Amino acid sequence: MFAAHGPSLRLDKYLWFIRLAPSRSSAQALAERGIIRLNGRRIERAHAPVRVGDLITVPQGQAVRVIRVERLPERRGPATEAQLCYSAITPGGLPEPQEGD
């Protein structure tokens, strides 16, 4: 499921490129706080490699955001371009209630 080799990008650059952090330095600080998980493992290094297929868990306020890396961005582009680089995964996976249930 998770690629052990292949192209990679530093965690701080990935978070900045996909706009989960407003600046590279804030992405680096976020990565070094030890609150991000990469494929279930706690990360304390901004230079941890991120590869296609990896799962990244990031706390945001009271919520936890889980994303799957779909592609590695080449730059920090517009938000629409950044959103193509990951897919959101909902923790718990509870379906929305249907009418009539």
Write down the pLDDT at residue 95.
Answer: 43
- pLDDT, mean of residues 80-91: 88
- The full set of domains in the chain, from first to last, is 9-89 (3.10.290.10)
> pLDDT, tens digit, for every residue of 24-75?
999 999 999 999 999 999 999 999 999 999 999 998 888 889 999 999 999 9
Write down the pLDDT at residue 63.
Answer: 87
User: pTM for the whole thing?
Assistant: 0.81
- Alpha carbon distance 75, 57 (integer Å): 22
Write down the pLDDT at residue 4.
Answer: 59
The CA-based angle 84-63-58, given to 5 degrees, is 50
CA-wise closest residue to 80 among 19, 1, 15: 19
